[in-house]
């Protein structure tokens, strides 16, 4: 029998607002709309609202709430934007994104079919079943639904992925961790043929898997 979490999703979001991780109404509303507890394994349920990553199986994690908030803010989401996520995991981050832009505008690619299956069930359970969950090699993006206004990775690439040159629209934004032993979160903006990057903060993510991982 598992313990119920001591606090709640709203209290978690309140803390992120007070600490400055959430700055905009669209991000606050999206994170309030998605209960993190619905995406963590039963064995981790009592830690659902703790601001830390949690193991979800296959050596993967659900990101800490503050990291989801930071990345979502940096993406500058708006309703109707087409978004690609690489690294579905349990589906939590995709659900937050879908709450901001609309579920039909989100494509997410997961390397492990077991996690993709769980993510589909989780997304369906919170009313975001229209998110497109693909099993495959996200290190090369997902060409069938390209191009995208926004792209983000929930796993660390060794360098800026080549697929952004073909799949990110001009004026588009990508947010991703880059690095191996030392990682940092970067915001990459497409300006014509150029990709302009800026570093946001030091981070620690699981590595990107696949051909370009």
| Domain parsing of the chain, residue ranges | 9-203
Q: What is the pLDDT of residues 160-201, one digit of tens each?
A: 999 999 999 999 999 999 998 899 999 999 999 999 999 999
DSSP state of 208: P
Instruction: Give the pLDDT confidence score for residue 2 in this predicted structure.
Output: 44
The DSSP secondary structure of 69-136, one letter per residue, reads: HHHHHHHT--TT--EEEE--TTSHHHHHHHHHH-GGGEEEEES-HHHHHHHHHHHHHTT-TTSEEEES
Distance between CA atoms of 213 and 207, rounded to whole angstroms?
7
Distance between CA atoms of 117 and 104, rounded to whole angstroms?
18
Indicate which residue of 7, 43, 52, 63 is catalytic: 63
Distance between CA atoms of 37 and 157, rounded to whole angstroms?
28
The whole-model pTM stands at 0.94
The CA angle 67-22-74, to the nearest 5 degrees, is 60
Q: What is the pLDDT of residues 139-167, one digit of tens each?
A: 999 999 999 999 999 999 999 999 999 99
Question: Is 63 tagged catalytic?
Answer: yes
Judge: domain 9-203, CATH 3.40.50.150: yes
**DSSP three-state, residue 172:** strand
Q: Which residues of the chain have pLDDT under 70?
A: 1-6
């Amino acid at each position: 029998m598992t313990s119920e979490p001591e606090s709640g999703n709203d209290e978690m979001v309140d803390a992120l607002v007070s600490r400055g991780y959430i700055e905009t109404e669209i991000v606050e509303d999206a994170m309030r709309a998605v209960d993190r507890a619905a995406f963590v394994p039963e064995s981790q349920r009592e830690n659902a609202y703790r601001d830390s990553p949690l193991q979800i199986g296959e050596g993967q994690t659900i990101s800490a709430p503050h990291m989801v908030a930071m990345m979502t803010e940096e993406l500058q989401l708006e309703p109707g934007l087409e978004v690609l996520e690489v690294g579905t995991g349990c589906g939590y981050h995709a659900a937050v994104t879908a709450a901001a832009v609309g579920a039909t505008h989100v494509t997410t690619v997961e390397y492990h079919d077991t996690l993709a299956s769980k993510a589909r069930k989780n997304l369906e359970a919170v009313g975001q079943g229209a998110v497109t969950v693909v099993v495959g090699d996200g290190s090369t993006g997902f060409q069938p639904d390209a191009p995208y206004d926004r792209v983000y990775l929930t796993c660390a690439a060794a360098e800026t992925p080549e697929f952004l040159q073909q799949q990110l629209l001009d004026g588009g934004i990508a947010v991703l961790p880059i690095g191996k032993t030392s990682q940092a979160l970067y915001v990459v903006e497409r300006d014509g043929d150029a990709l302009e990057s800026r570093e946001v903060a030091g981070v620690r993510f699981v590595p990107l898997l696949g051909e370009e991982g």
